[in-house]
Amino acid sequence: MKFQRVLVSLIRCILTILGYIFNPVLDRVFSIIYDQSSTMVSPVHEDILMQSATSLAKKIRSRQVNAVDVMEAFIARVKEVNPVVNAAVSERFEEALKEAQNIDEILDAQSLDPEYSEDKKPFLGVPLTVKEAFAVKGMPNTAGLVIRKNTCAEVDAPVVAYLKQAGAIPFIVTNVSELCMWYESANRLYGRTSNPYHTGKIVGGSSGGEACIIASGGAVIGIGSDIGGSIRMPAFFNGVFGHRSSRGAVPNEGQFPIASGSELELLSTGPICRYAEDLLPALKIMAGKNANNLKFDEMVDLKSLKFYSIEDDGGSLFVSTIDPQLKAAQLKVVTFLEETYRVTVEHVCLSKLKYSLEMWSARMSSSDGTSFCQYMANCNGQVNPYLEFFKWIFRCSNHTLPAIGLGLVEKLDFLLEGSNRKALDTLKRLKKELQDMLGDNGILLYPTHPKLAPYHNQPLFYPLNFAYTAIFNALGLPVTQVPLGLSKEGLPLGIQIVTAINKDHLSIAVARALEGAFGGWVNPGA
Ligand SMILES: *[C@@H]1O[C@H](CO)[C@@H](O)[C@H](O)[C@H]1NC(C)=O
Ligand SMILES: CC(=O)N[C@H]1CO[C@H](CO)[C@@H](O)[C@@H]1O
């Protein structure tokens, strides 16, 4: 036991020293390849584009602006930025304009159909972007898999249908990582999406296209899903809001790939948006009937909440250390909360977080559903990852390296059976600890990611940094990622606001307060 501990400390020391030498060299090499100047321009229709979905819907309803004009402004913006960022992979502009015109006609008619009340259609006429992995009737639904190239959705996913019922109009679908299982959005079908703050950097994944087009001003709200951080990482790298909803609150159906077996418990669907005010209405719509049970409308008094702050994972061997600028931003949040609401933010340390990755992957592999290699073959037989790796070396595989790598890891999973049992046990105890700590009015501040947006392909060198988001999938807790302005390099900073299960409205209330204090989304074209 003692020997083991000494050995681990020794390895940690060596890795830390190597990191000090290796990371700056790596950054330098990548910067030579990818340091190109960003060419983001400021949008023309600022009056329309720089408003929340809630406010747009109000203005359309009160006839201050036509739904068609709103749709046209967003379409023009997508056309302007997409050649730079490659976020939208398919569009339905013509149909969307017709649907917008239909709304204008209904609103201009003498007597308004009660079906069109503000209550029933809170997002009336708001352009909606959707992650391509979700089914939108008539749109491609491939998850970036070449073999699914011509696969189109025949019916809407439930969340898409709910948002349409609420008046939103889907007009684009956006890029993802191959099979939504990597934190850079790139695949062999649609290519790679670039960060609007620095086009040499990643947008994160898997809902990377969503966060990117929203940050670029090409859309205002969108739909993401998150099994290890796929909403929160892109929202972080692109400086927007993203909410991972409580386990089971929002229907996950209608996306490909859909997690199966117990993996489904880790997956959660939720909104990505530019303005915090849209989080709660979007979440309520997406939750469908569940929204009635979840008490999301309860008033929140921030002074009555208990706050905790954890600044890092306690030193996992395989995860990068926290960027000092992120740590400083988190401490500013602590100071803001303490000074504004006269609360005490307790700095805590949960040693089990060091094993976040082990707990998440034990939860993932205890699933008995469809294997990743089967998904790579579109559930028709399975792909041989060893062969694909060989083909990849000669640049003739239809798969990305991270997907092939995950296929290989899956093959070796049996080696971990013993340690998985132990990790599941640790997870159970951590869950209890957090439940006791958060109670039903606790808020935890935790970094979203240890590093600022890395260069393209650089995540291959830090494959496990998603541990910071993944732990909350294993725990099933709701989390809001909140942007906190830009770093000195001009890249988004951010933080995770975690709360107890089914208390999503608490983390969202904190997000709104932080938007007021820290400025929220920053226009990359400014
Ligand atoms: C890649 O996909 C295309 C289109 O489905 C197919 O024609 C081609 O044979 C595939 N290539 C490999 C190496 O599997
Ligand atoms: C870089 C790249 O491959 N971009 C593609 C993104 O997807 C659209 C729609 O399929 C293509 O037209 C682009 O060429």
Determine, yes or no, domain membership for 27.
no
Looking at residue 512, which CATH number applies to its domain? 3.90.1300.10
Q: How far is the CA of 397 from the centre of ligand 1 (A)?
A: 8
174: in domain: yes
Do the domain assignments include residue 33?
Answer: no
| Closest C-alpha residue for ligand 1 atom 11 | 398
Where are the alpha helices (H) located in 86-137, listed in sequence order?
Answer: 93-108
Selected residue with higher pLDDT from 390 and 526: 390
Residue whose entry in the numeric block shows the structure tokens 């938007």: 515
The domain total for the chain is 1
What is the chain's mean pLDDT, rounded? 93
Residue-wise pLDDT for 492-516, tens only, equals 999 999 999 999 999 999 999 999 9
pLDDT at 412 over 90: no
Catalytic residue among 38, 52, 121, 131: 131
The contacts of residue 332 (CB under 8 Å, 6+ apart) are 484, 518
Nearest residue to 315 (alpha-carbon basis) of 6, 2, 8, 3: 8
**Atom 8 of ligand 2, residue of closest alpha carbon:** 89
Pocket-forming residues, ligand 1, beta carbon under 6 Å: 146-147, 149, 391, 396, 398
Residue 381 located in a structural domain: yes
**Which ligand is closest in space to the CA of residue 396?**
1
Q: Is there a contact between 30 and 455 (Cβ–Cβ < 8 Å)? A: yes
Question: Distance from the CA of 196 to the center of ligand 1, in angstroms?
Answer: 31
pLDDT category at 255 given cuts 50, 70, 90 is very high
Domain boundaries, position 355:
41-518
- Exposure class string for 369-398: b at 16+ Cβ within 10 A, else e: ebbbbbbbebeeeebbbeebbeebeeeebb
Determine if ligand 2 sits within 6 Å of the CB of residue 195. Answer: no
Q: Is the distance from the beta carbon of residue 190 to the nearest atom of ligand 2 less than 6 Å?
A: yes
Answer yes or no: is 97 within a domain: yes
Ligand 1, atom 8, residue with closest C-alpha: 398
Q: Is 381 in the pocket of ligand 2 (CB under 6 A)?
A: no
Ligand 2 centre distance from Cα of residue 89 (Å): 6
Residues 249, 294: Cα–Cα separation, whole Å: 8
Ligand 2 pocket: which of 89, 90, 193 to mutate (most atoms <8 Å of CB)?
A: 89
pLDDT of residue 368: 66
pLDDT in tens, 430-455: 999 999 999 999 999 999 999 999 99
CB 230 within 8 A of CB 180: yes
Tell me which of 230, 268, 320, 371 is the catalytic residue.
230
Distance of CA 248 to the CA centre of its chain: 17
206 is catalytic: yes
Task: Give whichever of 104-118, 313-327, 427-441 has the largest mean pLDDT.
Answer: 427-441
Residue 48 lies in a domain: yes
Task: Let me know if residue 1 belongs to a domain.
Answer: no
Q: What is the pLDDT of residue 417?
A: 77
Residue nearest to atom 7 of ligand 1 (CA): 147
Answer whether residue 71 is part of any domain. Answer: yes
Residue 316: pLDDT above 70?
A: yes
- Give residue-wise pLDDT tens across range 33-68: 888 766 677 777 788 999 999 999 999 999 999 999
